[in-house]
Amino acid sequence: MKRGKKYQESAKLIDKTCLYDPAEGIELLTKTAKAKFDETVEAHIRLGVDSRHADQQVRGAVVLPHGTGKTVRVLVFAKGDKATEAEQAGADFVGAEELVPKIQNENWFEYDVIVATPDMMGVIGRLGKVLGPKGLMPNPKAGTVTMDVAKAIADIKSGKIEYRLDKTNIIHCPIGKASFGAEKLSDNFNTLLSAVIKAKPSAAKGQYLKSVTITTTMGPGIKLNPAKIDA
């Protein structure tokens, strides 16, 4: 695959044989962001677990201290007082059963996160085949199935992200924008890694953090030294 001139310039700054100290790697990353837009910074964390086993799943949510730099649109499934609470808390969309055909038949996905009260999960269950593959199903572990919809909305709007393993045992998460600078990106990165380390399943054996790579939207990956990452 042929890479652009800016990518090649950024790649020259990185020693691909080196595992960087996290602080050094993040500082270097900010120098590789050369796109004309504010690039998203992502962390890709390979874990020494087997996601095929239920007792080795790693999933949860964490509020990044400096947010993600992205405006997150929240859809809330709730009724009555909880629907009113959601509207007052700043939810972008609020509804109940009437939203099911809109999502199923109109392919409506103008939202990034779904929050639901527990009593609405029966309704949402009918959307499992549609929402599941997109990673949009509300989940108690992620704090998106709750009676406290106002807190859930506030957390999401202020920078709460969900992390979960994919089929290759890697977690992919945004940790901010290139414009944040090294200090804020380091704070967000350390907060995410601390949460992932605390979520280590008891069934996981051997090395837990196999590899950690950070990258910008358009830039090359920078490999970090897992041994230098603080829990």
The CATH code of the domain that includes 90 is: 3.40.50.790
Residues 110 and 212 in one domain: no
SS3 label, residue 41: strand
Residues 6+ apart with CB under 8 A from 153: 74, 76, 86, 89, 90, 91, 115
Number of domains in the chain: 2
pLDDT at 111: 95
Q: Are 158 and 195 in contact (CB under 8 A)?
A: no
Is residue 84 located within the same domain as residue 153?
Answer: yes
CATH of the domain at 43: 3.30.190.20
Q: Is the same domain home to 182 and 142?
A: no
- 10 Å CB burial of residue 22 (0-12, 13-18, 19+) is buried
Mark whether 93 and 22 lie in a shared domain. no
Q: Is the pLDDT of residue 5 over 70?
A: no
End of a domain among 129, 157, 185? 157
**Judgement on whether residues 150 and 92 belong to the same structural domain of the protein:** yes
Residues 29 and 100 in one domain: no
Q: Which stretch of 54-68, 88-102, 180-194 has the lowest confidence by average pLDDT?
A: 54-68
81 and 112 co-located in one domain: yes
What pLDDT is recorded for position 103?
94
Q: What is the Cα–Cα distance from 216 to 174, expressed in whole angstroms? A: 9
- Rounded to whole angstroms, what are the CA distances from 152 to 115, 162, 198? 7, 12, 21
Query: Tokens representing 188?
Result: 């967000």
Domain encompassing residue 134 = 74-157
Residues 27 and 135 in one domain: no
36 and 140 belong to one structural domain? no
**Lowest-confidence region among 14-23, 74-83, 101-110, 143-152:** 14-23
Give 81's contacts (C-beta < 8 A, 6+ positions apart): none
Same domain, 190 and 130: no
Tokens of 81: 């007082």
